[in-house]
A and B are shown apart, each in its own frame.
Chain A
Amino acid sequence: MAFIEAVMQYGFLQKALLTSVMVGIICGVIGCFIILRGMALMGDAISHAVLPGIAISYMLGVNFFFGAVISGVITAIAIGFVSQNSRIKHDTSIGIMFTAAFASGIIIITMLKSSTDLYHILFGNVLAVRSSDMWITLGISLIVLAAVYLFYKELLVTSFDPTMGAAYGLPVRFIHYFLMTLLTMVTVASLQTVGIVLVVAMLITPAAAAYLLTERLWMMIFLASGIGVISSIVGLYFSFTYNLASGATIVISSTAIFILVFLFSPKHGLIWKTLKVKKKRASLV
């Protein structure tokens, strides 16, 4: 296959492949906790909210990683503050805060008129991944995987039964912001491959597909990562072969997998469920 030959041959393609595989893994892992905590919208919000941080980092000439994490976490705190201190519901608060952050990001970038390519931050350009980006992604991946491995117990309890966690003394709110920080880091790692706008799909779609396939959290995490990796590779293939935006092809690949799982999952799939109902009704005639 021409794609495999090209991967063997071109360094930029190898970097693209490695980076997007790592992104597929960590998005799957963090995505599981995001959807189980009912925070899909929060994932979307935080991924958008890193924009002003990135812009200011460019302006100050520091690594965009730090700015992104700071603006992501500040937005998460602002969202919590507004919904806890008024009658505004959580999803409304999310809508207000992340659009505000995103809009300020756009203004700052436009004012800078720098070489920063807004289009690439928003939609990703995996084929332009530099070595330094790949190393940042590797570093973030190691941190995220280690954090989830080490704090698995705490993440499980606070996702499943936060009140019980608080009752035996877990710092539930701190863990929430810790997860938000991990989420921001994942977003930063995903900038080059899928871009800000579509990160949420990589967080949610593979995890949602995995959710329909298993009844165990650790298995869900592995499946979500696997689906993320497959989506990344398939997406990259289409992106390279047909010269399409990598973010879009990767996301569509994961959507295709989700649709398959939605229909054919052994336990929760639409087809089997419908067949079971039909069979049951027929037996009662």
Chain B
Amino acid sequence: MKDPAISIQDLHVSYFGNEAVTGVSLSVNTGNLVGIIGPNGAGKSTFLKAMLNLIPKDKGAVKVLGKPITEVRKSIAYVPQRNDIDWDFPITVLDAVLIGTYPHLKLFRRPKKKDKEWAMECLQRVGMQEFSKRQIGELSGGQQQRVFLARALAQKADLFFLDEPFVGVDVSSEETIVNILKELCRQGKTVIVVHHDLSKANDYFNQLILLNKELISFGTVEEVFKPEVISKAYQGQFAFMNEIGVSL
């Protein structure tokens, strides 16, 4: 049997003793497009970062493709939240995508012509090739997110982790991004997305992780995207529930 893309056992994360993620266990098979949803402050991004061992965890074991994360880092692509990036950084669109080839370059090696061509190809896939010479801050939010997706594609990864990729993104960019993510899954890649907007969660993903510090529910969209399940995570946010047409 194939190893699951990610298996997590009893994951605990806290900030100075304040629980952010408690006792999450789950296992995601390859080829899935998984959304992590939950109310604000539910620990979605923390969960993502702890999975990747980017922040210290208090307890728990995470295996990626059946191995400890440190052994498979090169098959992982991570796209940070947009506000984590300094958009005034002196870097062009193409050079930003080119960074995606760095994980596979040896120490002291520079990207070669074929790496640049590959970066350009990735830019083409997200429809941004004509912007290759622009400074990244000159783009709109949606264009910036597409460039970062191109960088992730350039990494030739097996697993993709995206933190809130649709925040501040225009409708057509969002569509482009979702289509590419779905295509990646058809190719057998696994995509994990932190997502804040419940209304589209059922269109975009085939599995959902519903989080509110602890794991409320995990399963296919049909299993998780039910009013009685969702409301468990969103206690006290009834106005929002009405907005998306869930009656309680």
Contact = CB atoms under 8 A, between A and B. Distances in A.
Nearest to B99: A157
A216 B95 contact: yes
A284 interface: no
B85 A161 contact: yes
Contacts, number: 72
Interface string B84-113: 111001111001100100110101111000
Contacts of A270: none
B32 interface: no
Given A160-B99, A163-B54, A169 B89 contact: no
B103 A168 contact: yes
Given A167-B52, A167-B54, A157 B135 contact: no
A74 interface: no
Contacts of B74: 168-169
A167 B78 contact: yes
A192 B232 CA distance: 67
Given A161-B85, A166-B54, A168-B74, A217 B91 contact: yes
Per DSSP, chain A at the interface is helix
B110 A153 contact: yes
A163 B70 CA distance: 15
A96 interface: no
A215 B90 CA distance: 4
A169 B103 contact: yes
Interface string A209-230: 0010011110110000000000
B76 A160 contact: no
Contacts of A4: none
Contacts of B52: 167
A277 interface: no
Contacts of A156: 91, 99
B80 interface: yes
B144 interface: no
A211 B90 contact: yes
A150 interface: yes
B234 to A, nearest CB: 28
A168 B76 contact: yes
Interface string A255-284: 000000000000000000000000000000
B155 interface: yes
Nearest to A211: B90
B92 A215 contact: yes
B73 interface: yes
A34 B197 CA distance: 38
A169 B73 contact: yes
Given A157-B102, A168-B74, A169-B103, A163 B90 contact: no
A261 to B, nearest CB: 14
A164 interface: yes
Contacts of B96: 160
Interface string B56-89: 0000000000000010011011111000111001
A204 to B, nearest CB: 15
B92 A161 contact: no
A169 B70 contact: yes
Interface in A167-207: 167-169
B154 to A, nearest CB: 12
Given A163-B84, A167-B52, A214-B90, 18 more contacts: A150-B107, A150-B108, A156-B99, A157-B99, A160-B85, A160-B99, A163-B80, A164-B78, A167-B54, A167-B76, A167-B161, A168-B73, A168-B77, A215-B90, A215-B91, A216-B91, A217-B90, A219-B90
5 shortest A-B CB distances, which residue pairs?
A167-B78, A169-B73, A215-B135, A168-B103, A163-B80
Interface of A: 36, 38, 150, 152-153, 156-157, 159-161, 163-164, 166-169, 211, 214-217, 219-220
19 contacts: A36-B90, A38-B86, A150-B108, A152-B110, A157-B99, A160-B85, A160-B91, A160-B99, A161-B84, A163-B78, A167-B54, A168-B103, A168-B155, A169-B70, A169-B74, A211-B90, A214-B90, A217-B90, A219-B90
